[in-house]
Amino acid sequence: MAKKETFNSSFGLLVALAGSAVGLGNLWRFPYLVGTNGGAAFIIIYLIFVFFLCLPIMYSEFVLGRRRHAGIKNIRILSVISAICVISFYSVVGGWSIGYLLKALTFSVVSPSSEYLEAVYQQTLGGAWSPIINAFIFIAITFSVLLFGVRKGIERYSKFMMPMLFLIIIAIASYSLTLPGASKGVSFLLKPDFSKVNADMLIAALGQAFFSLSLGCGTILTYASYTKKSENIIKTSSLSALSDTIFAIIAGLAIMPAVFAFGISPSEGPGLAFVTLPHIFSQMAGGQIIAILFFVTLFIAAVTSSISLLEVPVSYLMDKHRLSRKSALILSSSLVLCFAVLCALSFGLLKGVTVFGFSIFDGFDKLSANVLMPITGLAVVLYAGWMMKKKDFIDEITSGHTIKYKSLLLKYVYVSVKYIAPIVILLIMLMGIFYTSIKH
């Protein structure tokens, strides 16, 4: 096999992983899911999934990816499908963030008029050309970062962007927390109402945990294959999961206090970031600047994630079909662009078209977060727990026993990979199928 590029340093790998994890999932999806699923109870269940279930899955993806097992060919193919599915709708939302950023820069997105904001939203989503052009620009930006490869593209871009993202979101949260009435938003995030827990919520929480940590899409598998043998897998992936979770909570603290301070319902759904927030910004001192900062954050976070997604098919085509990076990129982005156009049009020209009751856009979103990603995750843990020898798994996760971990931790990880993770993923997926068919 040709010698592969590797990340230059552990920090480079960490920011690339965190860059993949922190994205629209934290700023757009997490706050609206928290809002529609009753606040703190959702967050607690989400955290339990992240730490007890998803971390071991993440380590397993790392183990398989770095070991570059020949046996994982099918898992890689599944990952490629899953990644293409995600990036198809992700680039459309990334495109909206470009549209909103441009409007914020010309001071035309912050307004107290709900009708105006609703019209801007409808026009951004449902216009004839603008959603397609914006998605195209978004994919082109992702393309140009990846053209520079792992170190000069992914690593350099993430090193620069990630610290900036954290700084901006902390600044917005600090401001939001000083608004009069902000404490209601904080208690919404902290006081759980467990009567809201139901099958839908569990499925949404698991889907979100997978989505936010970038699991089951081959991104960890791919980045792991660019990782040196001496890298501490557990430390780096845990730190990246931790940064992702902290970022999601800070995003919640930036958004919810403002939502409550201005007496708006937290359950606005997907329009939260695009309609509710600009409305709130209009009532804040310096709201125009906050709007620019917010949409810059949204855009940068989306790009660091989409580069990790597009790298999955690119790396597959380079490894398996011996394509050059450039050809692999052209092929993958053209395919993604076709699907993205379909997703973009599902708010306009193709509005009435539904598949299994979902619009094309929702279909891609639900199919990836609730079906393909968990299935790929399931395949990863089944392979790591049942097809791979335990000795090999432990050997890889401890980098050839050069890194010492508490044996209790390793035992838990292994039990989780072998039994807990497959059972829980299966149960929740079955619950999803059963529950949805009852509801229909």
Residues found near ligand PHE in the complex (CB under 6 A): 20-21, 23-26, 86, 211-212, 214, 217, 219, 305, 308-309
Let me know how long the chain is.
440
Minimum CB separation of residue 173 from ligand PHE in Å reads 18
DSSP, residue by residue, 137-188: HHHHHHHHHHHTHIIIIIIHHHHHHHHHHHHHHHHHHHHHHTSTTHHHHHHH
| C-beta of 120 vs 251, nearer to ligand PHE | 251
Query: Measured between alpha carbons, how far is residue 20 from residues 57, 241, 310, 336 in Å?
Result: 16, 10, 11, 18
DSSP, residue by residue, 292-310: HHHHHHHHHHHHHHHHHHH
| C-beta of 45 vs 248, nearer to ligand PHE | 248
Closest CA to 316 of 26, 8, 74: 74
Minimum CB separation of residue 24 from ligand PHE in Å reads 4
Minimum CB separation of residue 79 from ligand PHE in Å reads 10
Contact 176, 182 (CB under 8 A): yes
| C-beta of 165 vs 264, nearer to ligand PHE | 165
DSSP, residue by residue, 382-417: HIIIIIS-HHHHHHHHTTTTTS---HHHHHHHHHII
Minimum CB separation of residue 240 from ligand PHE in Å reads 10
| C-beta of 305 vs 315, nearer to ligand PHE | 305
| C-beta of 222 vs 282, nearer to ligand PHE | 222
Minimum CB separation of residue 366 from ligand PHE in Å reads 14
Contact 244, 213 (CB under 8 A): yes
| C-beta of 219 vs 282, nearer to ligand PHE | 219
Rounded to whole angstroms, how far apart are CA atoms 261 and 426?
41
| C-beta of 284 vs 369, nearer to ligand PHE | 369
Minimum CB separation of residue 118 from ligand PHE in Å reads 25
Minimum CB separation of residue 96 from ligand PHE in Å reads 14
∠ at Cα 100 (91, 108), nearest 5°? Answer: 165
